[in-house]
Structure 1
Amino acid sequence: MSTDTEHVDEAAETSVLDTWEEWYHIPIIGIVMLFMIWVRTQSYDRFVTDDGTPALAAVDSWYHWRTVQWTAENYPWTMPFDVWTGFPTGRYVGQFGTLFDQLIVTAAMVVGLGDPSTETLYTVSLLAVPVMAALVAIPVFYMGRRLGGTIGGLLSVVLLALAPGTFLYRTTAGQLQHHVAEVLFMALAVLAMMVALRVAEREKPIYELVVDGDWAALRTPAIYSALAGVALSLYIWVWPPGVVLIGIFAVFFTVQLCLDYVRGISPDHVAFVGAVSLGVTAIVTALLIEEWSTSTTSFGYLQPISAALVAAGCLFMAWLARQWNRRSIDPIYYPAAIGGLLFVAFGAMALALPDLFGTLSDNLVRRLIPIGATETDMTISEAQPPEDFNSHVFSEFGMAFYTMLAGLALLALGPLLGRTYRAEHTLILVWSLFLISMAATQVRFAYYLVLAVAVVNAVFVSDVIRLFNLDLEGGVRSIREIETYQVITLLLVVMLLFAPLLPPVAAGTAWDRGAAAFPSDDGQTWEESNHWLQENTPAPGDWGGADNASDLEYYGTYDYPEDGNYEYPVGAYGVMSWWDYGHLITVQGERIPHSNPFQQNARSSSAFLTAQSEERGELIMDGIAADVSVSNASDEEIERQLEGNDSHEELRYVMIDHKMAGGKFGAISTWTGPGYGAYLEQNQYQINGEEETLHGPGEAYYDTMLASLYLEDADGLEHYRLVHEADDYAVVGGMLGNDGPVPRNSFALDDGWNENTEQIRDNLAQSREDGAVDQSLGGAIWDGHLASSVKTFERVEGATLTGTVDDSALDEEATVYAEIELETAPGRTFTYTQEADVEDGAFELTVPYATNDELGTDDGYTDSSVEALEEYEIVIATGDGDDLERQYAGTASVPETAVVDGDSIDVTLEEATD
C-alpha cells in the first residue's frame, strides 16, 4: 500500500514539475507587468486635483485629453479636423484622435457603463498609459523567446521593466501621449512579421501554388501574413508617421530577398509574406484616408501607396529572380541589379512624383539619419539629437545597449556559430539598426530603441548560455547539475546587464524616476490665465455681440474644408502666443490659438513676436487674419496682399509668459531670423566691483513686440493693453547657467520670494540702471526684470484723443503726453504713457486703456482685470528729459466704447500753472 502511495506521489510531483516547466514564465511575466504598472503609477495622486481640473505632464497630453473628451462625446468617431486650434484656418489633427484615444474611450465606456463621467474619463486616461506600457512586455517576451528561448524572453521583459530612460518617462501616469501605444503596436507588428516569416519558411509558399489555386497549402502562410499586415496597420492607425516602419520593412525585404536568392533559396517564400502583409496594410490604410496629401502626420495616401509599393516590389523581386534563373545569370549580380533599379526608380519618382519623393526624403533625414536636421527642428527639444550618444544610451539602458550590439553581431554570425539562420533574424538586424539610427537622430526615439535593446539581449544571453553549456531550459533537474564556473559566468552576465540599472550603481532606478513624475509646470503656470481667458472674454463667435458662438461648438463636428481653410463665422477670433502653449489655450482656456505644438503657424507667430515696431506688428496681425504670407514679407508686400481683402477674422489677444521673454526667445527668433545673435550685444557689467563683459539683450530685443508688451506693459503702444496678469511672478534676464552665461533666461519665484516682489523689482531696476549684476536672489542676474509669470494683452482699436491749443507760445517741437495710472488684479500699479507731436497747435494721439469698464462679456467684449485709478492726464510740454516745461494740461475720461470702436474724444486743455 505504501509502495503504491509512493508511486502516486512521484507521479504527482513529476506532473507538477512538468506543468511548472511549461508554464513558469506566465506568473513571472505577470509579476513583471504588475511591477511596471506600480512604477508608473507611484505619482498618480499628483495628477488628481481637488477641484477636478486636469493636471497633466507634457504639452501633447493636453491635446490628447481634448481628443479623448471629444471622442467620448462623438463615440466611436475621432476628430479629424479641429477649428479650435490653428486660427484662422483650423487644423487637420491626424496623429491625434487615433486608435490610441479610441482604446482609452472604449475602456472608459465599459467602466462607465456606456456613459462615462468626466472623472471616469480622466481616471481611465491616467491609468491607461501605464497599463499599455505593461502590455508591451507580452510581445517583447515572445520576440525574445523566438530569439533566445524562454530564459531569453524573460530577460528581455526584465530589461524592459528596469529601463529608467525615455520609455519610462513617457509612460508614467499623467503622460497622456500616444508614444506608449506606438511602442506597443510596433512591437506587435514586428512580432507578427517574425511569426509570418517563420511560417512561410516552414510552409514554403511559391508562385506555382498561387497559380494552381492550392489554397490548402497557402492558407496558413496567408493567414499569418495577413495578420502581420493588420498589426502593421494598427501601428500606423496609432501614429500616421509610423509609415517609417513600412520603410524599415521595405529595406528588410530587399535585403532578405537578395540573401535568399544568392544562397540558392527561393525568394518566393519571403516575397509571399511581403506581398500579402503589405497588400493588406495598403487596403486597411486606404480605408483610413482623411486628407489627400503626402504628409506623414496625416491619414493620407502616403501610407497605402508606400505599402502597395513595397508589396509590388516584393512581387517584382521574386519575378526578377525567376528571369535571372531562366537566363542563367550568376546570382551574385542580382543584388547589384536590384540596387541599380532602386536608384532608377527613386530618380523617376523624384521627377514624376516630387511631392511623394520630397516627403520620403525629408522624413528619411529628419527621423532616420542623424544628419541634416534643420534649425527649426533644433528648437524642438525632443527632436534634437543627443549631445553625447554614448552617455545618452548608457543613461537609458546601462550596459544593455552594448550587450545588444554584441547580440546583433552574434545574430549576424549565427550560421558560423551553429545557429540555423532565419529570415526573422535579418528582420531584427535591420529593425534594430534603424532604431539605433533613429535614437541618434532624435532623443525621443530612445523609447523605440528600448524594444531592440530588450529583445536582442535575448540573443546575447542565449549564446553565452550555449557557449558555457548552461542548460537552463531543461527544468529543475538540469539546474541541479550546473557547475560552479557556470554559476559564476551566469552571475557575471546578470551583473553586466542589471547592475547599472539597480542600486547602488544606478544613478536613478526605474522606481525612483517613476516616483519623480510631476505635472508640467507650464500647465500649472498657465492655468490661472487660461481660466481667466475663458471666463472674462466672449465666446468665439460672440465678439462684438455677433452671437455666433453656437456655430463653434467645442465638441462639434466639422467637415474638412476642400482647401484646408475653415471659414470662421463673424465674431470668431484667435489668440497669439508661442506654439508651445497652443494646446493649453485650447483646452484650459477654450479659446483658439494661432499656433500650436503641431508647429502650425510657428513662423507667423515668430514674425509678430519679433516685429520691431507696433506698425509692423499690426500689419502681421492683419496679414495672419487674412491668411496671407507674413513671415518674411516686407511691409509693402503685406500691404499689397491685403488690398481688397475683406476678411472678418481677427487676432484679439496676445499671451506671453516669462519663458518666451527668457529662454524660449532663442527658438522664437530662429523661425524667422535674423537669428538669436542679432538681438544680443556685449556689454560691460559691474560684478563684485570688477568689470566683466557679458552678452545681454540689445536694442533689437527691447524693440520687439514681445518685449514691448511683456516687459513694458504695452507702454507707448496704441492698440494693445494689458487685461490680465497671473498672481505669481518670475525673473527674466541674463543668468549664469551650468554651461556658463546665458543671455536670456527666466525662473519662476517660489512662494517665499513672491511676498517680496516690490523689493525684488526695485533691486533689479537699480541694477539695470547701474549696469551691475544683481546677486540679491542668490545668483548672478543682469538686465533683469520682474514680471508676472503670464500676461494677457488685448488688441483694440484705441480711442483717439484730439484737441487744439493756442500755438503762439509753443516751440516748434512741442509734444503732447497722455498718462494714466493702472492697477492689476494682484495689486500691482503701473503707468501707461503715450506721446505725439503737436502741429500748429493741434494734437492727436491714440490710447488703448479705458477709464471705466462699462462693457463686459455679455456685451461681447472683455471684462478686463486691469483698472484705471484715475483719468488720463494730458500735458503739452516743450523741451526734453528733465528740462520739460509744461505749457498746457488737462484730464480726459475715455469710455470703453471709444477704445473698442476707435472713436475720437475731444480734449480741452488749459494753460499750465506750474
Structure 2
Amino acid sequence: MSTDTERAEEGAETSSSFLETWAKWYHIPVLGAVMLFMFWVRTQSYDRFVTDDGTPALAGVDSWYHWRTLEWTAENYPNTMPYEIWTGFPTGNYVGQFGTLFDQLIVTVAMIVGLGDPSAETLYTVALLAIPAMAALVAVPVFYMGRRLGGTIGGISAIIVLALAPGSFLSRSTVGQLDHHVGEVLFMAIAVLGMMVALRVAEREQPIYELVVDRDWDALRTPTIYSVLAGFALSLYVWAWPSAIVLIGIFGVFFAIQLCLDYLRGISPDHVAFVGAVSLGVTTIITLLLIEEIGFSVSSFGVLQPLTAALVAVGCLFMAWLARTWNERDLDRRYYPLAIGGIAGVAMLVMWLALPDLYSTLIGNLTGRLLPIDPSTSTLTISEAQPPDDFTSYVSDEFGAAFFTMLLGLALLVARPFFGRDYRAEYTLVIVWSLFLISMTATQVRFSYYLVLAVAVVNAAFIADVVRLFDLDLEGGVDSLRQVETYQVIVLLMVVLLLFAPLLPPMAGENATAWDRGENVGPSQDAMHWQESNHWLAENTPEPGNWGGADNASELDYFGTYEYPDGGDYDYPQGAYGVMSWWDYGHLITTQGERIPHSNPFQQNARSSSAFLTAESEEQGELVLDTIAAGESPLDDENALRSNEELEAMAEDATHEEIRYVMIDHAMAGGKFHAITEWTEPDYSHFVTAEDLGDEPLHADNLSEAFGEVPYDNTMLSKLYFDDASGMEHYRTVHENEDAGTAFFVSYAEVYHEQAFQPQTAQQLESMGYENGDVLYVSGGQLAPPGEGNPAVRINRPESQQGALRLQQNPSTVLFDAQRSAAVKTFERVEGATIAGTVDDEDDLLGDDATVHVELELETNADRTFNYTQEVELAADGSFEVTVPYATNDELGVEDGYTNSSVEALGDYTVSVGVPGEEGYEGQLSVPETAVVQGETIDDIEFEQTQLEEPADNESESEVPDDGTDENGSDGNESTGNESDGNESAGNETAGNETAGNETDEAAAEEN
C-alpha cells in the first residue's frame, strides 16, 4: 500500500516538474513553429524562380544587381566590389548599398554549402532561400522585444502579428526578392533590441561619471559590455545598409528626449548618457573602418555614418555635463529642455553656415525620408518612395486592426507614469522609434516593411496591459489558469479576434492572407520581357572594349577589381561604349546583357537619359550624347536642355566614350513617359498638348484639329520606338523582342487636367466590345461600352506614326488609337552612309517642288516588315545628299567589332526624284555595312525615267498577339508608370499600394 502511494506521489512530482518546465520554456517551440510558418509562406512559389536553362528569374529590379554583387563576391571572396565600371557609363559608379554585409552573409553560406567553391546553381539556390530565412529570423529579436514589453504572452503575440502581416514586409521577403530590405529589418530589430537591453542594464547598474573617474571597472563592467554590444549591433545594421544612419538619427532624438525626462524627474542623466556615449562611440569606430568614399552621401560608406554617430555620442556627454552644471548653478530644471533645444538650433545654424553639404544632406533626408514635408523629384518618380494616397486605408491593408491597437499600446506606454507604474527608458525608445516609423511610412510607402516591427512589438505591450487590466494571469501555471473567470476568457477572445481575425480567412475578405500572397509571387515580368533583348545584346554586339576592332575587352573584366578613381570618373579604354535606356532597366542591362548602361536604378544619369529621350530632333539627341561623351551635362541649372549652340560647343571635347545602343520598351513609350519628363524641363504637359492649342476651350467639334499632332511625336523616344528610326540618319533598329507589349500614352489639355482616366489594356477594351482604332466613350469619368455615354470624335493621327495606345481627353471626350508593338526594341547608333547623286533632268520633268525620296523595306527578327523612308529637297543644280542608317547587307559582325543586326533589308534602296504620283526619276542602289558604320559616301546611282508611286506608309505588317496586357512584377524601385506594389504576384495580385503619379512603379532609387 505504501509503495503505491510513493509511486503516485512520484508521478505527481514528475507531472508538476514537466508543467513547470513547459511553463518556463514553452515559448521556444512556439517561436520555432512561427519561424517555420514564416519560412514556408515565403517559399511556396520557389519553383517559379527555377528555370529550365538555369538562368536567374528574380522578382525585382534591384534583385538583379544583388545577383551581380553576389557573383562578384563569390569570385573575389571575401572582398566586396570596391568600384563598379559596368554601370553608369561613361564614369562608372560607387555602389555603396550593394556588396555589403548582406551579400557577404549569403555568399558565406554558399561557400559553406559549396565546400569553398560554390557553383552558380548553388549560389543561386542559397540566394533564393536566404531571403525567407532572414525573414524568419526576424521573429527572434521581435519576440524578445515583445517579451520585454509584455512578458512571454506579449512576445508570442508580437511574432504572430509579424507572421500574419500580409503587407510590404511579406512581399519584400518572399523567395525571389533578392534585395537587402529583409536584411535591413533583421538588423534594425537586433539593433533596437540591443539598445533596449543596454538601457535597462544601465538603469539597474546606474553608471555615473564618478565611477568612470575612479576607474571602478567592477561597477562599470556590465553596463559597458551591454552598451558595446548595442553599438556593435547598430554597426552591423549600418554595414548591411549604409542608409541605416536613419536609426542613428532616431537614437539621437531618443537620447535627447530621455535625458531631458530623466533630469526633469530628478534622475541622474549619467545612466542613459553612459549607454549613448559608449554604444555610439563603438559605432563611430567601426563605421570609420567601413569608409570607402569621402563624402556625405547617405547611401555610401563615407564619413557621414561615423560623423553622425560621433555627434550623438558627444551630444550625450554634453547633456550629462550640462545637467551637472545646471545643478551647480541651482537653475530651474524646467528650463533645461529649452536650453537643449536652443543649443540644437544654434548647432544647426552653424552647420548651415560652415558645412552646407552636411546640412543639406541631413535636412534633405529628414524631409524626404522621415517626415512627409518636401519629397524630391528622385523620390516622387519611384513608386516605393511615394506617400500613400490614403494612409488609414493603407495601414489597414498592411496590418489589419493591429496598427490601431499599436496606437493604443503607445498611448498606454506614455500613460504609465500617470498611473504610478514603473517607467523605463526603453519605453521611451520604443515610443520614439515607433513614431518615426509611422512618419516614415506616411512619407514613403516602402518604409512600411520597417513599421511592421513597431506594430508587432508595441502590440505586446497592448496585450500585456489588457491582461493586467482584467487581472488575467496567463503565465502563473495550471493553478492560475483554473482560476480564470468566464468574463476574462471572453475578453481574451475578443482581444485575439481584434488582433488576428482581420489577418485570417474569412475575416480577411478581399485582402489576401499572408499565405495567399506568398503563394502568388513570381519573377518580374519586366525582367522576363527584357531577357531576350539583353541576351541578344550579349551575343550580337562586341564586348565593351572591342568596338570597332579595338581589342581592349581584357581591360574590362566583368568580375574584375577596379579601384575608386580620382574624382569618381573611370577612364574607359578605346572601344568601350554605353547603352542608353531609362534608369529602371540599367541593372538588367548589366546583369542579363553584360553591357554598360548609362543610367541605372541608383538614378545615376537619370537627367541626361531624360534629356536624350525627350529631345525633339535627331540633331538635338545627337548633341546630347556627344555632350555626355565630353563629360558635361546637357542641362542647365534649371534642368532644361541647353540650346543646340551650347551643346555643340560643349560636345567639341567629346571622347571615344560614346553611347552606341539605345533600348526602349513599351512602358517607356507609354505610361513611364510621364516619369521620364519629371527630370527635365519642359514638363509633361508640353509634350502632350498641341502647340497650336492656344487658350481656346476644347469642344468635341474642334478637338480633332487641336490634337492633330503633339510634341511627343517628335521626341527621340517616339521617333525610334514607333517609327523604327524612319527619317533619321544615325539610328537603326537592330533587334526587337518578339513578345508584344501595349504602350499607353495620355494626352490632354491642361485646362482639363483635373479629370483623370485610368488606361485600359487592349484586352480589357476588347472584352468590353471595343476594337482597335475605335473611339472610347466616357460617362462620369468612367469608361462606357461602345456607343454609350457622351459624344466623342475620332482623332486621325498621321499615318506615319506607329501610335501608342493614346488616350486624349476632355471632360466629355476620350479618344483611342491602339497600336501594339514589341515589348523591347534595340537601336544602334551609326555614322550612316551618305547617298549622293545628281539628276540630269533633260526632259524638264522636275518642277520647283521636286523632292528626293529614299525608301528601303526591312524585316525584323520577329518577321515584322516595315519601310525606312527619308525625304530631302533637291538642289537647284539637281544634286542631293541623304544619310541613311540601314545597310542592305550584313558583311560585318561581332568578330569585326560591330553588330550582328537582326533586322535585314529585303532589297536595295529605292531613290525617287520628283513629285509622288507624277513622272520622275528612280534608281536602285545597295548600301554596304562598311559604308554605314564608317560614314562613307555612295554616289553610283543610275536613274531611269518612270511614273513615281505614292510612298508607302510605315505600318507594321506583322500579326501581334491578342493579349496586350502589361502586368509587371516589380520591387517598387522603378519609375511611376506601371501599377506596382513592390512585389506583384505571378497571379497579378498586388500586395500593397497603387501610388499616385501615373499608375505607378523603381522610385529608387535605390534609396537615394
Question: Which category of TM-score, normalised to the shorter sequence, fits these structures?
Answer: over 0.9
Distance 2:310 2:377 in 1: 34
Task: Name 2:565's counterpart in structure 1.
Answer: 561
Matching of residue 545 in structure 1 with residue 554 in structure 2: no
d(CA) in 1 for partners of 2:757, 2:680: 19
Q: State how far apart, in whole Å, the 2-side matches of 1:266 and 1:901 are.
A: 79
- Find the partner of 1:703 among 704, 714, 728: 714
Structure 1 residue 11: deviation in Å? 1.2
The amino acid across from 1:805 in the alignment is V
Answer whether contact 2:747 2:806 (CA < 8 A) is retained: no
Structure 2: state its 5+ residue gaps.
Answer: 694-699, 777-792, 808-813, 948-1008
Matched, 1:520 2:521: no
* Structure 1 gap segments, 5+ residues each: 685-689, 754-758
Q: Secondary structure at the match of 1:912?
A: strand
1:888 counterpart (905, 921, 924): 921
Call closer, same or farther: CA 1:366–1:275 in 2, change over 3 Å: same
TM-score (norm 2): 0.86
Once the two structures are TM-superposed, the CA of residue 909 in structure 1 deviates from its matched residue by: 3.3
Residue by residue over 1:228-266, the C-alpha shift from the partner in whole angstroms, topping out at 9 and shown as x without a partner, is 001001101111111010000000000000111111111
**1:141 Cα deviation from its structure 2 partner:** 0.3
Corresponding position of 1:846: 883
- Residues 494 and 771 of structure 1: CA distance in aligned 2, closer, same or farther (over 3 Å): farther
Q: Is the 8 A contact 2:626 2:654 kept in 1?
A: no
The 5 A counterparts of 1:822-901 are 822-839=858-875, 840-878=877-915, 884-901=917-934
In the alignment, the residues of structure 2 paired with residue 761 and residue 725 of structure 1 have an alpha-carbon distance, to the nearest angstrom, of 24
Aligned partner letter, 1:270: V
CA distance in 1, matches of 2:756, 2:734: 31
Number of the residue aligned with 1:74: 76
Counterpart among 813, 826, 829 of residue 795 in structure 1 = 829
Give how far 1:884 is off. Answer: 4.5
* 2:823 maps to 1:814: no
Does structure 2 conserve the Cα–Cα contact (< 8 Å) formed by 1:661 and 1:710? yes
Separation in 2 of the partners of 1:375 and 1:605? 15
Find the counterpart in structure 1 of residue 739 from structure 2.
728
Q: Deviations over 1:620-639 (max 9, x none)?
A: 01111222011332222222
User: How far did 1:88 drift?
Assistant: 0.4
After TM superposition, the structure 1 = structure 2 runs for residues 6-405 of structure 1, keeping only pairs within 5 Å, are 6-405=8-407
Cα distance, 1:907 vs structure 2: 3.2
Distance apart, 1:908 and its partner CA: 2.4
Q: Does 1:637 align with 2:646?
A: yes
Corresponding residue to 2:579 among 575, 596, 611: 575
Deviations 1:528-566 (A, max 9, x none): 100000000000000000000010011111000010000
* C-alpha contact 2:669 2:718 (8 A) present in aligned 1: yes
- The CA RMSD over aligned residues, in Å, is 2.6
Residues of 2 paired with 1:136 and 1:49: CA distance? 29
Task: Give how far 1:698 is off.
Answer: 4.5
Instruction: For 1:693 and 1:161, locate their aligned partners in 2 and report how far apart those are by CA, in whole Å.
Output: 55
User: Partner of 1:604 in structure 2?
Assistant: 608
Give the conservation status (yes or no) of the 8 Å contact 1:538–1:862. yes
Task: Give the conservation status (yes or no) of the 8 Å contact 2:775–2:817.
Answer: no
Tell me, yes or no, if the aligned pair for 1:663 and 1:744 is still in contact at 8 Å.
no
Matching residue's letter, 2:874: V
Question: Aligned partners of 1:511 and 1:208: how far apart in 2?
Answer: 56
- State whether residues 804 and 820 of structure 2, in contact with CA within 8 Å, keep that contact through their aligned partners in structure 1: no
Alignment of 1:902 with 2:935, yes or no, is yes
Q: Give yes or no for contact 1:761–1:786 (8 Å, CA) kept in 2.
A: no
Give the number of the structure with larger relative contact order, counting CA–CA contacts within 8 Å between residues 6 or more apart.
Answer: 2
What amino acid sits opposite 1:12 in the alignment? Answer: T
Change in 2 beyond 3 A, CA 1:272/1:605: same
Q: How much does 1:693 deviate?
A: 6.4
Give the 3 Å change call, closer, same or farther, for CA 555–744 of structure 1 in structure 2.
farther
> Contact 2:743/2:805 (CA < 8 Å) preserved in 1?
no
Superposed, which structure 2 residues align to 1:612-623 within 5 Å? 612-623=616-627
Amino acid in the other structure paired with 1:673: E
Distance in 1 of aligned mates of 2:40 and 2:708:
47
- Output the amino acid matched with 2:359: F
Please give the alpha-carbon distance, in whole angstroms, between the structure 1 residues aligned to 2:905 and 2:59.
38
Aligned pairs (5 A) from 1:767-782: 769=796, 782=816
The answer to whether the 8 A contact 1:874-1:889 is kept is yes
C-alpha deviation, 1:225, in angstroms:
0.3
Aligned to 1:671: 679
- For 1:845, the aligned partner's letter is V
Q: Is the Cα–Cα contact under 8 Å of residues 774 and 817 in structure 2 kept in the other structure?
A: no
Distance 1:321 1:774 in 2: 68
CA contact (8 A) 2:416 2:423 kept: yes
Q: Once the 2 structures are TM-superposed, how far is the Cα of residue 785 of structure 1 from its aligned partner?
A: 2.0
Cα distance change, pair 736–351 in 1 and its aligned pair in 2 (3 A): closer
Q: Distance in 1 between matches of 2:105 and 2:689?
A: 53
Q: How does 1:412-561 map to 2 (within 5 A)?
A: 412-506=414-508, 507-561=511-565
Contact 1:734 1:741 in 2 (8 A): no
Superposed displacement of residue 836, structure 1: 1.3
Q: Is the 8 A contact 1:733 1:744 kept in 2?
A: no
Tell me how far 1:79 sits from its aligned partner.
Answer: 1.0
CA distance in 1, matches of 2:51, 2:354: 56
Higher percent of residues as helix: 1
3-state secondary structure, aligned to 2:565: coil
SS of corresponding position for 1:648:
coil
Q: What secondary structure is seen at the aligned counterpart in 2 of 1:588?
A: helix
Cα deviations across residues 486-523 of structure 1 (Å, max 9, x unaligned)? Answer: 00100110111111111111121000011111111101
2-structure distance, mates of 1:775, 1:262: 65
What amino acid is the match of 1:659?
A
Letter in 2 for 1:825: N
Q: Deviations over 1:207-229 (max 9, x none)?
A: 11111111111111111001100
Shift of 1:137: 0.3
Q: Which residue of 1 aligns with 2:818?
A: 784
> What is the identity, as a one-letter code, of the residue corresponding to 1:789?
A
What is the deviation of 1:376?
A: 3.8
Partner-residue secondary structure (3-state), 2:521: coil
Distance 1:482 1:781, change over 3 A: farther
CA distance in 2, matches of 1:545, 1:743: 51
CA shift for structure 1 position 732: 2.4
One-letter identity of the residue aligned with 1:702: D
The answer as to whether partners of 1:696 and 1:782 remain within 8 angstroms in 2 is no
The aligned residue for residue 659 of structure 1 is 667
- Name the CA distance, whole Å, in 2 between partners of 1:16 and 1:875: 98
Q: 1:539 to 1:741 in 2, by over 3 A?
A: farther
Q: Which amino acid aligns with 2:870?
A: Q
CA shift for structure 1 position 332: 1.0
- 1:75-125 Cα offsets, whole Å, 9 max, x none, are 011113110000000010000111110010001111111111000010000
Tell me by how many angstroms 1:440 deviates. Answer: 0.2
Separation in 1, partners of 2:74, 2:616: 45
Alpha-carbon distance, 1:419 to partner: 2.5
Post-superposition offset of 1:740: 11
CA contact (8 A) 1:733 1:781 kept: no
Correspondence for 2:5: 3
Cα shift at 1:675: 1.3
Cα distance between partner residues in 1 of 2:143 and 2:14: 30
Secondary structure of the corresponding residue to residue 293 of structure 1: coil
The separation in 2 between residues aligned to 1:470 and 1:716, in whole angstroms, is 81
For 1:630 and 1:456, how far apart are their aligned partners in 2? 51
